[in-house]
Each structure stands twice: as C-alpha cells, then as structure tokens.
Amino acid sequence: MTPRQDTASAETTPFEADLRAAGLRVTAPRLATLAVIAERQHSDADAIATAVRDRLGTVSKQAVYDVLNALTAAGLVRRISLDERRARFEVHRHDNHHHLICRSCGRIEDVPCVVGVAPCLSLPDDRGFTVEEADVVYRGLCAECSAAAAARAGDPAAS
C-alpha cells in the first residue's frame, strides 16, 4: 500500500474524469478553463481567458475560446445569455437552474427552477417543436440596489 499523496490528489481534479466521460482528451487548457469557471461562475469569455492565461501563461485567447466551445458542446459547461452584451459560462450541473440579475450593478445569482424540470414553461401550441429548454431570467434590483434606490427616494423604511 502506498501512502496517500494529498498534494498530488489535490491536483487531480474531478474535471479530469468529467473530460474523459465526455470523450474529450485531458489537456492543461481544458482543465484550467474548467477550474476557472468553477471558481467564478457566470464569467464572460474574456475574463475566463485572462484567468486561464494567468495560470498557464502559454495559451492564446483564441485557444481558450476554442476550449470554451468544446466544453460547451460536450455539455460540461453551460453558456448563458443574460444580456445582449456577452455570453457567460458556468460549470454545467444539469440542474436546470435559473438566474437573477440586477439591472443596476450586474450581480448574478443562481435560483432553483420552480418547476424543477426543463422546459419549465409549456406552450399552448409548440408548433411541432420539440422544446428542450426555456430560458428564465429574473431581472430587477438586488437587495443592495433596492435599498440604495429607496434611500435616494427618501423612503424612511430604507434608513
């Protein structure tokens, strides 16, 4: 019996198994991209590329974008569109969760699906489509921005 090597096992992430299970070759850029997304869910491609380059140094932005596309196609990463500006990415947990987004500060939070199963909303007439999912995005003001707005409006309840 060899003793457990905790330093080594800390480096072998479950992402290696995820990549193999998805039929993807395990590469340093793919592992780094998954680790970065797991750390900072809902980042955009630019922020992810910057963080991956910080870790690996040698990888081009375009290479990270290619990795993102491959991971998304393989179902390991979920691409979400919350606003017109840019797609964001998170590790795909296949839990069909939705998002709250603050229109003032841009804060994003996960919220569980009320229905629990995709596609959440059933159409009265699906026109023959096999609907797989419905994007649900709750927009508004987060608690802090609501409080700030109420304070600005002189609402005594917000003091």
Residues interacting with Zn ion, by CB under 5 A? 90, 102, 104-105, 107, 110, 113, 115, 120, 142, 145
Rank residues 72 and 104 by Cβ distance to Zn ion and give the closer one.
104
Least distance CB 42 / Zn ion (angstroms): 6
Q: How far is Cα 42 from Cα 98, in angstroms, rounded to an integer?
A: 12
Q: How does DSSP classify residue 63?
A: H
Nearer to Zn ion by Cβ, of 59 and 142: the residue is 142
Residue number with CB closer to Zn ion (116 or 154):
116
| Closest CB 104 distance from Zn ion, rounded Å | 5
- Residue 28's region, left for phi above 0, alpha for psi from -120 to 50, else beta, is alpha
Name the residue nearer to Zn ion (CB basis): 26 or 118. Answer: 118
CB of 137 to Zn ion, least distance (A): 11
- Smallest distance from Zn ion to CB 73, Å: 19
CA distance 155 to 159: 7
Q: How far apart are CA 122 and CA 139, in angstroms?
A: 21
Among candidate residues 97, 32, 101, 39, the one with its CA nearest the CA of residue 68: 32
